[in-house]
Amino acid sequence: MPEKTALFKEIAELEEKTEAACLPPELKEKCLHLIERLSRMIKYGEYSTEYERVSHYIDWITALPWEKRSEDRLDLEAAKKILDENHYGLEETKERILEYLAVMRLKREGKEERKEEGILKFMRAPMLLFVGLVGTGKTTIAYSIAEAMGRKFARVPFGGLGDPLDLRGQSRIRPDAEPGLIIKALRRTGTKNSVLLLDEIDRVTEDGRSSIMGVLVELLDPEQNMAFRDHFIDYSFDLSEVLFIATCNNTSNISVAVMDRLEPIQMPSYTDEEKIKISKDYVLPRTIQETGLDKEAIRIDPDVWPKIVRPLGYDAGIRTLERTINGICRKVAKMIVQGKGRSFHITSENVKEFLPTW
């Protein structure tokens, strides 16, 4: 008898959790039906297995942001300041985001939403695709866009992805079934108007490319993503307020249907002059802070920067540059700890002492 009392207590806790959650009415009714079925199964031996399945399912659906949104930051000056602080150049990209924020602000100042022919209409987020070589800032600009808009951010990696079920989730009849990467990302952000980065969509496996591109079409199509259906959740989730940002190195491996739903923005390679500017204003100050050095610990002559920027030949991005500056800061940190000085002046004569060797 005490055992049955404990089982009914577990069922009551599931019911309370479901009733307290903000769920669509049909989904809540479905969950309550599953819980009622559990109460009838107490007399049978498979209750524990079924309880784990139902409990796992309810845990997921009650954690999803069905109606929870973050407040958009629609201050264009503040957004521009954040974008400029984090990135040098990229004027076209910044202008596109500011245009979108301006439209959102105008609609909010007027009528935020309106109904036409029974369908709720609103300003849809642009589907951006950043195309460029490695290290040109495709991923980091996505973080900055989310920060500028005041939205939550999550990254969905596509590199090596081969099964569309990784995106769409698995049916609950399968053992150890889990939701797909999209639903998992939304749970992490906790808001339905988050920024989701679909990173490296051109690097899916060859075998699963066509089926994954089919899921991407549904994700990115404004007429379809209002009712995206994850196999595990088995209920439509509205993704229309999500700002999707995709990245790729080249577009040759992306289907025409997916490209048709994206706004490609080319991420240009950096010139040596741009890299020097980025090094001085962005990379070096950040690296000095990360390594625990004082701001005055490193002083670099202007004629030294070309040797730092291009120690091993041309690189389209700035990752080699970041590694080089990181190596310089580590060497300075070691010299300070060894008592060789508190600040160091890097000149064309001694620069080789500070440049890392490979």
Mean pLDDT of 26-54: 80
Residue 258 vs residue 7, higher pLDDT: 258
Whether the CB-CB separation of 302 and 350 falls below 8 Å is answered with no
- The last residue of one of the domains, among 233, 266, 299, is 266
Please indicate, yes or no, whether residues 131 and 199 belong to a single structural domain of this protein: yes
Place of tokens 């595990």: 232
316 plus 343 within the same structural domain? yes
221 & 128 share domain: yes
- Whole-number percent of the chain with pLDDT over 90: 35
Which residues 6+ apart lie within 8 Å of 348 measured at CB? 301, 303, 304, 307
CA distance 101 to 82: 14
CATH label of the domain that carries residue 121: 3.40.50.300
Segment among 23-27, 115-119, 131-135, 225-229 with least mean pLDDT? 115-119
In the prediction, which pLDDT does 120 show? 43
Does one domain contain both 141 and 210? yes
Token code pair at residue 133: 């070589």
Q: Both 42 and 81 in a single domain?
A: no
Whole-structure pTM value: 0.82
Residue 68 lies in a domain: no
- Where is the domain boundary, 10, 39, 63? 63
How large is the average pLDDT for residues 133-139?
A: 84
Residues 347, 314: Cα–Cα separation, whole Å: 22
Please check whether residue 50 is in contact with residue 38, taking contact to mean a CB–CB distance below 8 angstroms.
Answer: yes
Residue 92, pLDDT > 90, answer: no
pLDDT of residue 341: 87
Residues 59 and 82 in one domain: no
Same domain, 159 and 308: no
pLDDT at 176: 83
CA distances from 73 to 77, 79, 93, 199 (A): 11, 8, 18, 24
Give phi and psi for 263, each to the nearest 5. Answer: -105, 100
**Is position 69 within any domain?**
no
- What pLDDT score was predicted for residue 267? 84
Q: How confident is the model at residue 117 (pLDDT cuts 50, 70, 90)?
A: very low
Together in a domain, 199 and 298 = no
Q: Is residue 70 part of a domain?
A: no
Amino acid at 148: A
Residue 210 has pLDDT above 80, yes or no: yes
Domain count, the chain: 3
Percentage of the chain with pLDDT > 70? 88
If asked whether residues 316 and 237 sit together in one domain, one would say: no
Average of per-residue pLDDT across 289-298: 89
Mark whether 101 and 220 lie in a shared domain: yes
Does position 37 have pLDDT exceeding 50, yes or no?
A: yes
Give the C-alpha distances (Å, rounded to integers) separating 209 from 206, 245, 303.
5, 19, 48
Would you place residue 124 in the very low, low, confident or very high pLDDT band (cuts 50, 70, 90)? low
Same domain, 237 and 187: yes
Mean pLDDT (the chain) is 85
CA-based nearest residue to 194, from 138, 122, 146 = 146
Could you report the per-residue pLDDT of 306-327, keeping only the tens digit for each? 888 876 556 667 888 888 899 9
Mean pLDDT across 95-117: 69
328: Cβ–Cβ under 8 A, 6 or more apart, which residues?
298, 308, 346, 354, 355, 356
Is 244 within the bounds of a domain? yes
Average pLDDT (52-78) is: 90
Which of 33, 37, 31, 14 shows the shortest CA–CA distance to 66? 31
pLDDT in tens, 152-173: 999 999 998 989 999 999 988 8
- In sequence order, what are the residues at sequence separation of 6 or more whose Cβ sits closer than 8 angstroms to the Cβ of residue 215? 164, 167, 168
CATH number of the domain where residue 319 is located: 1.10.8.60
Q: What is the mean pLDDT of residues 323-333?
A: 91
- Residue 339's domain comprises 272-354
**By three-state DSSP, how is residue 196 classified?**
strand
Task: Look at 91-95, 116-120, 143-147, 211-215 and tell me which has the smallest mean pLDDT.
Answer: 116-120
Task: Say which residue, 118 or 344, is predicted with more confidence.
Answer: 344
Q: Of 240, 266, 292, which residue sits at a domain end?
A: 266
Contact between 78 and 149 (Cβ < 8 Å): no
pLDDT for the residue numbered 125 = 62
Q: Within this chain, do residues 259 and 278 fall inside the same structural domain, yes or no?
A: no
